[in-house]
Amino acid sequence: MQSQERTPRRHPAMSAAYDRTAELRALDATFSGVRGLVASGITHLPRIFRLPEAVHGPPEPTVSAGQETAATTVPVIDLSGDRAGVVAAVRSAAAEWGFFQVTGHGVPLESMAAAVDAVRGFHEAPGGEGSDKARLYSREPARAVKYHCNFDLYQSPVANWRDTLYLRMAPDPPRADDLPESCRDALFEYSQQVKNLGRTLFDLLSESLGLKPSYLTDIECNQGQIILCHYYPPCPEPQLAIGTSRHSDSGFLTILLQDQIGGLQILHKDRWVDVTPTPGAFIVNIGDLLQLISNDGFRSVEHRVVAKNAAPRVSIACFFSTHFHPASTRMYGPIKELLSDENLPLYRETLVRDYIKHYYSIGLDAKTAISDFRL
């Protein structure tokens, strides 16, 4: 999920007898997002955030934190272990789960904590006239640094209970003073650390596919980096709302840091499984484009974030892809070295930007983007 224009979709909730667009605009005009609503003392969920009846409650049984077994726990991989064992664990997690957590990754705990604190500080600062939030409030695709409440506020059927600071850090990094001063140092440092971890993971994923370690980097899968700094305030009626609608990530790979609150769930064997916060760990997930070029060797899996009436939740999602400015002109299809008579290509080749355009034309909440590229 990254910021992008997309086509409006009609939904039953939209035809309710109220001026939804006016309410969305009124929210935008505050420049302070969901956090601003909570700070103003609301006790009920505004209707723009209400899930339609049809999606109230989980459609599938949920495996919650504390009830997991080995079969329902997202794998945790210690990257400091022996190489062959790590490569095998990555192969099996990326193929079976599409998600895993990593420890022993070499990123200093202080950099992780500083980034989460900086993001929390940004979101908890007041909005309104003259604030950093007002200066940065935008959904303009060309802007590399921006803040908004829901990148798809005017297109999605249900507003998500979430605000986001968006940073496009590569291939063209922003100027230092484009970032809010309070989080500049922490987020530049974090971006560099996660870029290095990305390189380590792409090496491991290449090896897991039986390719030379630099293969995925050589084809520029990690050339672009977008960092989304999410903030999920406490929700007064969490069962009626959603933090992030179900979706798969469009790019090649995502590295996610979540704080201790929890709420991220992934769809595994038709059940929602909690990704239990693991102190010091990163969550890693395969995006649609890596599923496509691995010819289904790895899986891009749907996930969502449930709303809670708990302390605010911070997460920092770093996406690796190539459609960011300047957009790549490279074609991506199933990697030739993986194909054989037993492994025929399952997808057609595409420019990343064409894939992304299609992904957003469908919208979050619909898992058909990648299947439309199947041969």
How many other C-beta atoms are found inside a 10 Å radius of the C-beta of residue 174? Answer: 16
Binding mask 209-228 for ligand AKG (x = CB under 6 A): -------------------x
Residue 306 binds which of Fe ion, ligand AKG, none (CB < 5-8 A, kind-dependent) = none
Closest approach, Cβ 177 to ligand AKG, in A, equals: 26
Closest approach, Cβ 336 to ligand AKG, in A, equals: 30
Of residues 215 and 319, the one with the C-beta less far from ligand AKG: 319
- 52 close to 20: Cβ distance less than 8 angstroms: no
Of residues 63 and 264, the one with the C-beta less far from ligand AKG: 264
Structure tokens at 335: 């990697």
User: According to the binding rule CB under 6 A, does residue 258 interact with ligand AKG?
Assistant: yes
User: According to the binding rule CB under 5 A, does residue 365 interact with Fe ion?
Assistant: no
Of residues 166 and 215, the one with the C-beta less far from ligand AKG: 166
Question: In this structure, what are the phi and psi dihedrals at residue 225, rounded to the nearest 5 degrees?
Answer: -140, 125
Instruction: State which of residues 48, 209, 256, 284 lies at the interface with ligand AKG (CB under 6 A).
Output: 256
Closest approach, Cβ 287 to Fe ion, in A, equals: 8
How far apart are the C-alpha atoms of 157 and 344, rounded to whole Å? 38
Of residues 38 and 261, the one with the C-beta less far from ligand AKG: 261
How far apart are the C-alpha atoms of 16 and 136, rounded to whole Å? 32
SS3 of the chain: CCCCCCCCCCCHHHHCCCCHHHHHHHHHHCCCHHHHHHHCCCCCCCHHHCCCHHHCCCCCCEECCCCCCHHHCCCEEECCCCHHHHHHHHHHHHHHCCEEEEECCCCCHHHHHHHHHHHHHHHHCCCCCCCHHHHHECCCCCCCEEEECCCCCCCCCCCCCCEEEEEEEECCCCCHHHCCHHHHHHHHHHHHHHHHHHHHHHHHHHHHCCCCCCHHHHCCCCCEEEEEEEEECCCCCHHHCEEEEEECCCCCEEEEEECCCCCEEEEECCEEEECCCCCCCEEEEECHHHHHHCCCCCCCCCEEEECCCCCCEEEEEEEEECCCCCCCCCEECCCHHHCCCCCCCCECCEEHHHHHHHHHHHCCCCCCCCHHHEC
Binding mask 171-210 for ligand AKG (x = CB under 6 A): ----------------------------------------
Binding mask 230-269 for Fe ion (x = CB under 5 A): -------------------x--------------------
Closest approach, Cβ 76 to ligand AKG, in A, equals: 16
Of residues 30 and 291, the one with the C-beta less far from Fe ion: 291
Of residues 1 and 115, the one with the C-beta less far from Fe ion: 1
Of residues 91 and 105, the one with the C-beta less far from ligand AKG: 105
Q: Which residues between 298 and 327 bind ligand AKG (CB under 6 A)?
A: 303, 305, 315, 317
Of residues 64 and 80, the one with the C-beta less far from ligand AKG: 64
User: According to the binding rule CB under 5 A, does residue 132 interact with Fe ion?
Assistant: no
- 8 close to 154: Cβ distance less than 8 angstroms: yes
Instruction: State which of residues 30, 222, 244, 295 lies at the interface with ligand AKG (CB under 6 A).
Output: 244
Q: Which stretch binds ligand AKG (CB under 6 A): 14-22, 58-66, 256-264, 367-375?
A: 256-264
User: According to the binding rule CB under 6 A, does residue 1 interact with ligand AKG?
Assistant: yes
Q: Binding residues for ligand AKG, how many (CB under 6 A)?
A: 12
Query: Contact positions toward ligand AKG, by CB under 6 A?
Result: 1, 228, 230, 244, 249, 256, 258, 264, 303, 305, 315, 317
Query: Contact positions toward Fe ion, by CB under 5 A?
Result: 1, 249
